[in-house]
Amino acid sequence: MSAPKILITDYTWPDTAVERRVLSEIGAEVIEAPNGDEDTLVRLAEGVSAIMTCFAHVTPAVIDAAAATLKLVARYGVGVDNIAVDAATHLGIPVTNVPAYCVDEVAEHVLAMIFALERGLPTYDRAVRDNDWRLRADLGTRRIRGRTVGIVGGGRIGSALAARCEALGMRVLIHHPRSPRAGDPSLFDLLGQSDYVSLHVPLTSDTAHMVNDDFLQAMQPDAYLINTARGAVVDPSALERALTRGWIAGAGIDVFEPEILPPGHPLLAQPRLLATPHTAFSSRESIASLAEQAAQSVVDVLTGRTPVSVVNQ
């Protein structure tokens, strides 16, 4: 029996040594795509037993190209909005994800953004580099303790963030969009009371552009928006208006729509934007765990075992 072929569409870490170690249990042949273009993936997908993907789009065409042999599409990560899940489900192909690998990292990234924005670190850094050594007391920085953080989405990461914020003496409000709980504030009550609003929702038809003009105008003018969820949760044009017109004090954004902003994008000119390139999930520990768990799901399916997390049961 020939060795199963595993197509890895893309990854952002140095190499696939961890995945290859796990996949060696089944003697798999690993194929690494040179890029994530659909035409490239369609060409490479023929005859593969599994597709592992990070950010590349696994479209219906890619799945159809591998349909005769494909047993699994495995996502490196939590969200599966870059995978044609319906197409896979129609063909009886499971789609797996890794839902619990970067909880600490994302919660810590949110806190880092809150501290950086509230303490004015990006502004101070730019000032020092421009040889401006004044204290800049006019920034109006505030004490973190006693401030209110509003968390939209109270899953694993939202709950981990809440625990950290409470330990810092912050007041925590949580709104659960998908499963409201007794005593939870409504979304707009949360927005009106929060000094920091942190998004932790998946990208769905209900959450796409949920952060729009109405959402941002409901926030306090001295509040900050933090997004480490999915870029398309935030309407980028609305965010640009909010920053330009002073609807909010600033924003910390790790994920954008589009995923990579083109040079000259108006958001990049905003001095009150703290931007990171979709790195909230990343640490040495989380990447190793992510690679291992994603590869293990492939091994499990190809050896007849039930993987830990299937999104299309």
Give the helix/strand (H/E) hosting 273. Answer: strand 273-275
Residue 278 annotated as catalytic: yes
Residue 230 annotated as catalytic: yes
Dump the DSSP string for 38-70: HHHHHHHHTT-SEEEESSS-B-HHHHHHHTTT-
What's the CA gap between 269 and 247, in Å, rounded? Answer: 17
Q: Which of 245, 259, 285, 305 is catalytic?
A: 259
Q: Which of 19, 147, 230, 240 is catalytic?
A: 230
What's the CA gap between 77 and 56, in Å, rounded? Answer: 12
Encoded amino acid at 292, one letter:
E
Burial class (CB in 10 A: 0-12, 13-18, 19+), 154: buried
What crossing angle do the helices spanning 103-118 and 121-129 adopt, rounded to 10°?
60
What is the phi-psi region of residue 289: left when phi exceeds 0, alpha when psi lies from -120 to 50, beta otherwise?
A: alpha
Residue 245 annotated as catalytic: no
Q: Which of 278, 284, 292, 305 is catalytic?
A: 278
Count of residues for the chain? 313
Burial class (CB in 10 A: 0-12, 13-18, 19+), 276: middle
Distances (CA, A) of 10 to 176, 199, 207, 216: 32, 26, 26, 34
Which active-site residues does the annotation give?
230, 259, 278
